[in-house]
Amino acid sequence: EKQLTEAKQALVTAQTELATAQKADATRLSTIAQAEQTVSAATQDVASKTALVTEATDKATETASVLQVAQDAFKVTENDLNALNTITLSSDYIMALKEYGKTYSQPAKEKLDALITDLRKQNSFKANLNDSEELLDTNNLSEEARTELSLFASDLINQIRHLVGTKTTVVTKGALQLADATTDGYVADNWSWNDVGHDVKAVKQAAEKLGLKTGGQYYENMFTVSRPQPKMTISQAKAMIYQGLLNFMVGGYEYLHALSIAGLSNDVVYSGVDLSSRQDASSVHFLTVADSHIQSS
């Protein structure tokens, strides 16, 4: 009986301890479940916020890319604007040039001579930072380069012609071919600094090749410097074109080229430009053609 009583007491004690243990275990499981729920919520929150960060980062990258494109486009436009080249001539100069074109008189020339010093100071070349710095073969410029240079020259010539009130020029494929063929002739003849004036043979052969009249040298105005330039950049070529036109208009040596460029001594409208380099000289060749010069092309 004593042993039974002790056994019963032990059973009660064990049952009490089991209940306590079960309660503790239930509390632990609840804590674990709550912790797991908290971790799950935190994980979802982290994932959500990570997605937001990723989205924001992608948006920021996209915005930065759009901004860079806009900044690049602005810089290109700004460079173009800062490199707008102009040739400024006064009304007094234009009146004197027109008078000289009618009379070729010494008084008219003296009027021009008195005006050109100030005009030279008002005009200067502006380089375009957008232009490639690649060195080009002066005697083998691509059609693309010759077109760009011809359009640059035509724009400057037309500024002058607008001021004077004469027909403006237009760059055409035929005029580009005439300029290219003419410079090829100069290079083949190695036309020297000491060879006076134009290589008339080269100009006439180029004109004949393109079906133009060949009775005279109707087509070329040329600006030459006494050094070869077998390589040059687009910007250097533009600077030489600008220098050539400025020299024609306000150089002061003579004004026959000025009359031609201004359209006062001719009716030429089709325009093309090319450059050449020989052993002791390099030139810009301004080729212009009138409708009256065209025979078969």
Report whether 188 contacts 202 (CB < 8 A).
yes
DSSP 8-state class, residue 251: -
What pLDDT score does 255 carry?
97
List the one residue out of 201, 207, 206, 177 whose CA is nearest residue 189.
201
Question: What pLDDT score was predicted for residue 271?
Answer: 97
Residue 164 tokens read as 């004077």
pLDDT, tens digit (0-9, with 9 covering 90-100), for 36-57? 888 888 888 888 888 888 888 8
Q: Give phi and psi for 278, each to the nearest 5.
A: -120, -170
Would you state the pLDDT for residue 125? 97
pLDDT of residue 297: 60
pTM of the model: 0.80
Give the model's pLDDT for residue 163.
Answer: 96
Q: Which residues of the chain have pLDDT under 50?
A: none
Q: What is the pLDDT of residue 226?
A: 95
Q: Do residues 158 and 168 touch, judged by C-beta distance below 8 A?
A: yes
